[in-house]
Structure 1
């Protein structure tokens, strides 16, 4: 339900800042990573404490306002902002406290990965984080979370120790293994369906500060061979190795030779979580696969590895993303992805294939709400284009590229990569029947009115056939 009159904003009293369309800074505050999203909320509550969040949620419920929750603002379909509703903006909640003795870190929901990595690396520690450093910790964790450390440390959500949550009825609860375990289970992969998480505590691991990793770059003629190489090498490497392939257009950056600028290339990214000497040996096949046009493998600070692809996904471009869990990379899929690489409609678009497995696959499927632990690969197709360009051709390319991988599909997408054209059935498929039914039960217990529905929504039982709004 949306409001047809202006809500009584003067009644919303928080320690943070309240913005409306008439307030300076409103337009900047409503912008998100995906520049294709242009929504105008009635109110933005920039919260600094859990009490602020309670006040904002209660205000929205009293006034019939839909609620969007923003952490890092990196939601692909722009679920962190809404039209005519209230945005619970957690971005001011930046507190980070590292306990090196307990090997934990507690961070506010507005923290992004660059900030968390910098704080934990002061102690030679880290937790699995996203590969784009301005992604918020909140959304990534709640959807699962994979990055360079996933094969030794598990998913981000596997390392969640506890979460402070503001519930739909205005309570503040701490969810963990021994406190509200049903809610804790659902938060690890079930997204923002169950409340507003205001604080996360993670288990940390010894990492770096230097790792052996980086990338090698080949011209497009080797794209198919590179994908076959990734397919064949992935099952043979130890858990300490994490691999990916990216079909992209080489930017005019100094590390790329001039003849490659603006040309389609294939990048093989790799990292080794362990000693530099062992990493150099373990990644030798990546360097020796074929003579690379660019060799960027070597000792690299973990924080630099985490920011290695930032320039390829800047804020403000228009994006459309499709994703799929893959059982393999058979020849028809390899050929189809390469064909789409060469037929791209924008030099900004990307085709990414990440190796999975290792530690994340050894966590029992029923332990968390994250479902597809047995997938050996995940495909991400990132359609990206300049704001002045029409969306149609680029969205169509993204869908065609995703379709080319369907012969190897396990039948679902990574929930954090579901986009605007993915309906309720794709949300169900992202979890599988048993996990989805269990999530519905938790949703029904904690948010029976579907107050938190601007997400990859899991409807409570009594509204499963209708729209609660």
Structure 2
């Protein structure tokens, strides 16, 4: 089949005969690379509409690439066309008077953070700043400012969406509100977003945060302190991530990533009980706000292999913590990978202040956790990652007494299953389980905006 750019296409059209083909299909995760027939670097919404029409005419699957950070390969396609927003639609413009950011569909969080903070403003963004805005936002999105400003999608004011039939629509509370409801949580199921308009909030220029490392034998003290801290209620200006991982010599260790939206003096006093445990290393400091969102970049470098598996808990689970830490160490050695299991403690009061039906994203008073595996691009894990990491997260899911096991999907952006997978009865994966009571309404929207299921690369909704 001859593949060529559609008539009037203004962007860049790359196929396997072009010198930049390999870089055009490269992704953050090496295991997410797929051999596309063509990559369309679109310049505007009209280009997107042309490519969608062309792909459907040729019966070719499409994928949408914003930041390209889906380890599951949602931004790649084997034998189809990639609509790539990253080359020409990546700019961010701030209106400081209105406290709004106009964000291109291919922008990354670093650009948002750096542009907004120049005006003393910020919005809820990713804690790894080379990640794309679109994927995080459309799947829910949470970050260090979630306690003060909610989910990333709660800060979306308006979006420009190109639907499967080529319509270029504005989605907001007042224009196409049904579409606006659907894109806030259901990912790319209804179209290609070429621009986001985000609310900005006043933000101090420096914050307190960083990495704290503890010996494995500090686990009991850590869990006692974590449990007390969590039961006292999280304050809106804080965040804490707790992880089980390995030292360079392969031995287990605990890590904390701390955040306090204030000075170092305030932050150290606030987290005093954690510092009093006696960490091996303390890298916390007062630093520029935009740098805080880059501290985790090192463990998420481009062109390595990645795999994630998510689960929810209702809080710290001391009874299974030792078992979890031991199993993380065992699996890292058995599979010959680097493995971290992270508990992401964020204040939920602001998130839960939005009624559960206002967006399609399902909210709950819960802690998102993730098993995060990485290994070199030229290597292969010594076993089945899906089954072994499922056993790992199930230790938590079965120990959890509050959240039902059958619906414990974990955070949507951590789902790694093949997008074409149709969940069986009782499975904890799939759009019908993920969106629960909102799923029938999402099916109605799918029939309206994408009846032929052009968009199926992330938690696909059946019609």
How far, CA to CA, are the matches of 1:270 and 1:291 in structure 2? 15
Q: 1:268 aligns with which of 251, 256, 263?
A: 256
**1:337 maps onto 2:334 in alignment:** no
Q: 1:30 aligns with which of 25, 32, 41?
A: 25
Q: 1:292 aligns with which of 274, 279, 282?
A: 279
1:215-294 equivalences in 2 (<5 Å): 215-236=211-232, 237-250=234-247, 263-274=251-262, 276-288=264-276, 290-294=277-281
Q: 1:415 aligns with which of 400, 412, 417?
A: 412
Q: 1:66 aligns with which of 61, 67, 74?
A: 61
Q: 1:327 aligns with which of 303, 314, 322?
A: 314
Q: CA offsets per residue over residues 269-322 of structure 1, 9 Å max, x none?
A: 11112455443432222322x011111223121111101111011111111210
How far, CA to CA, are the matches of 2:312 and 2:350 in structure 1? 17
8 Å Cα contact 2:14-2:40 kept in structure 1? yes
* Structure-1 residue corresponding to 2:426: none
What is the CA-CA distance between 1:231 and the residue it aligns to?
3.4
TM, length-normalised to structure 2: 0.91
1:157-236 equivalences in 2 (<5 Å): 157-236=153-232
8 Å Cα contact 2:230-2:315 kept in structure 1? no
How far, CA to CA, are the matches of 2:169 and 2:337 in structure 1? 46
What is the CA-CA distance between 1:135 and the residue it aligns to?
0.6
| Range that drifts further, 307-316 or 404-413 | 404-413
Q: CA offsets per residue over residues 360-412 of structure 1, 9 Å max, x none?
A: 1222111111113321x111101111123223436154233222212225422
8 Å Cα contact 2:206-2:262 kept in structure 1? no
| Range that drifts further, 23-32 or 414-423 | 414-423
1:63-102 equivalences in 2 (<5 Å): 63-92=58-87, 93-102=89-98
**1:372 maps onto 2:375 in alignment:** no
How far, CA to CA, are the matches of 2:210 and 2:433 in structure 1? 31
TM, length-normalised to structure 1: 0.90
What is the CA-CA distance between 1:79 and the residue it aligns to?
0.9
How far, CA to CA, are the matches of 1:421 and 1:95 in structure 2? 31
* Structure-1 residue corresponding to 2:460: 457
How far, CA to CA, are the matches of 1:232 and 1:434 in structure 2? 34
How far, CA to CA, are the matches of 2:220 and 2:435 in structure 1? 32
How far, CA to CA, are the matches of 1:81 and 1:126 in structure 2? 30
* Structure-2 residue corresponding to 1:465: none
How far, CA to CA, are the matches of 1:189 and 1:224 in structure 2? 37
| Range that drifts further, 390-399 or 193-202 | 390-399
Can you give the 5+ residue segments of structure 2 that lack an aligned partner in the other structure?
424-428
Give the number of equivalent residue pairs: 444
What is the CA-CA distance between 1:26 and the residue it aligns to?
0.6
Q: 2:371 aligns with which of 366, 375, 381?
A: 381
8 Å Cα contact 2:245-2:325 kept in structure 1? no
8 Å Cα contact 1:412-1:429 kept in structure 2? no
* Structure-2 residue corresponding to 1:349: 339
Q: CA offsets per residue over residues 137-189 of structure 1, 9 Å max, x none?
A: 00000000011111111010000000000011111111001111111011111
Quickly say closer, same or farther: Cα 1:154–1:424, change in 2 above 3 A.
farther
Q: 1:136 aligns with which of 132, 139, 142?
A: 132
How far, CA to CA, are the matches of 2:7 and 2:217 in structure 1? 59
How far, CA to CA, are the matches of 2:6 and 2:447 in structure 1? 29
8 Å Cα contact 1:159-1:202 kept in structure 2? yes
How far, CA to CA, are the matches of 1:275 and 1:401 in structure 2? 37
CA RMSD in angstroms comes to 1.9
8 Å Cα contact 1:150-1:358 kept in structure 2? no
How far, CA to CA, are the matches of 1:203 and 1:138 in structure 2? 15
8 Å Cα contact 1:384-1:394 kept in structure 2? no
Quickly say closer, same or farther: Cα 1:223–1:6, change in 2 above 3 A.
farther
How far, CA to CA, are the matches of 1:199 and 1:330 in structure 2? 41
Q: CA offsets per residue over residues 314-338 of structure 1, 9 Å max, x none?
A: 1111112100121233334313311
**1:398 maps onto 2:389 in alignment:** yes
| Range that drifts further, 380-389 or 429-438 | 429-438
How far, CA to CA, are the matches of 1:429 and 1:242 in structure 2? 30
Q: CA offsets per residue over residues 74-130 of structure 1, 9 Å max, x none?
A: 012011010111100010212211011111101101110111111011111111111
**1:121 maps onto 2:117 in alignment:** yes
Quickly say closer, same or farther: Cα 1:235–1:445, change in 2 above 3 A.
farther
The SS at the match of 2:161 is strand
8 Å Cα contact 1:163-1:198 kept in structure 2? yes
Quickly say closer, same or farther: Cα 1:401–1:235, change in 2 above 3 A.
same
What is the CA-CA distance between 1:214 and the residue it aligns to?
1.7
Can you give the 5+ residue segments of structure 1 that lack an aligned partner in the other structure?
252-260, 461-469
